[in-house]
Amino acid sequence: MNERSFVPRGAASHPVDYDGPPRDFYFLLLPKLTLLAFSAALEPLRIANQVAGKELYRWFVLSEDAAPVHCSCGVMITPDTGLCDVARDALAFVCAGGEPGDHISPQITTWISRQKAHGAHIGGICTGAFALARAGLLKGRRFTLHWENQPAFVERYLDLTPTGRLFENDGGLLTCGGGSAATDMMLSLIEADHGADLAAIVADMCIHLRSATRDASQRSVQSQGLSSRNSHLIAAITFMTDNLEAPADVLAISDHVGLSRRQIERLFRQHTGLSPAQFYMDLRVSRAHALLNETGLSVAEIAAATGFTNSSQLSQRFKARYGSSPGAYRKSWLSRGA
């Protein structure tokens, strides 16, 4: 790999009392990775070096065959090298994004296992957990990935359960949900390495408001865009989301949150413009859409996984929402090579 400077010039500065060797990061880019998540992980390292005025971190970009990689947005990134052995105690992240299960070759899983065996710390950014699971690194471990891809993940890996948190660090196994969660994860590493003051100025340089806790959820009120922070509404939506395969009726939801049926109906109408039943149906059809896009499950299997009694019932609801049947929708994506 070419020699280059890892310490850019900048106006802001913060003295760091450290004269040891830099910490090395390796980013393995998979096709259709999310550019936002990758840059959100990389930039805090650059900024830390810039404000410290010294080489605290180094970073190297890999692809499977050393060829350029297209991100999900179409931007192409040229890596430094192909798959190579990384330094012992280095951090190696698998950066993925769309269709994460389709871009994991045997060479990649072998590389992941080899680096782990040689003492590197392995992690996943956005949907990188798919590759870590394929390599057998996640059994019995705490991990996460982007919430959008979690339904497909749990259908594919029935014995693995991701958390909904921004990021996880389970004994050096680092994973994050993508987006700005990657910045939160990196800031936590910078703070552990060089203190809270450096992490704070790096966050300021990123114009990033750090989450108060790593335990914060990736989704705000289940990412339904609700402005309310009503605890009963949040509890009801969470209960619905946790019970998509065997949907509960409105009375069961009311009992769970401690409200009457009339109160829960009024609450949903006020904040979502929908009845609880309509909102619940929307969650189930959205989950079916996710599974259709990111798994090889049949329409019948997806219907069962989202609480529909048969494929026809799912097809009717799906067509009303997306304008085509599940089968036609999947075929249209396959024909476009998406």
What the chain holds in terms of domains, given with CATH numbers, is 23-205 (3.40.50.880), 221-335 (1.10.10.60)
Distance CA 177, CA 121 (A): 18
Average of pLDDT values for 28-52?
Answer: 96
Local confidence band at 141 (pLDDT 50, 70, 90 cut-offs): very high
pLDDT band at 217 (very low <50, low <70, confident <90, very high): low
Distance CA 41, CA 33 (A): 13
Average predicted confidence (pLDDT) for the chain: 89
Q: How many CB atoms lie within 10 A of CB 22?
A: 16
Q: Average pLDDT, stretch 124-148?
A: 95
pLDDT exceeds cutoff 70 at 336: no
pTM recorded for the entire structure: 0.78
Residue 107: predicted pLDDT:
97
- Tell me how far apart the alpha carbons of residues 9 and 315 are, in angstroms, rounded to a whole number: 57
- Return the half-sphere exposure (C-beta side, CA atoms, 13 A cut-off) of residue 140: 1
pLDDT band of residue 170 (cuts 50, 70, 90) is very high
Most confident of 14-28, 150-164, 269-283: 14-28
pLDDT at residue 216 tops 80: no
CB 206 within 8 A of CB 249: no
Residue 19 — pLDDT band, cuts 50, 70, 90? very high
- Burial environment of residue 292 by CB neighbours within 10 A (0 to 12, 13 to 18, 19 or more): buried
**What is the per-residue pLDDT for 101?**
82
280 pLDDT higher than 60: yes
Does the structure show a pLDDT above 50 at 164? yes
Percent of the chain with pLDDT over 90: 67
Give the E-state strand segments of the chain in sequence order.
23-29, 57-62, 69-70, 76-77, 91-95, 121-125, 167-170, 173-176
Q: Which pLDDT band holds residue 266 (cuts at 50, 70, 90)?
A: very high
Could you report the per-residue pLDDT of 97-115, keeping only the tens digit for each?
Answer: 988 888 899 999 999 999 9
pLDDT of 127 higher than 60: yes
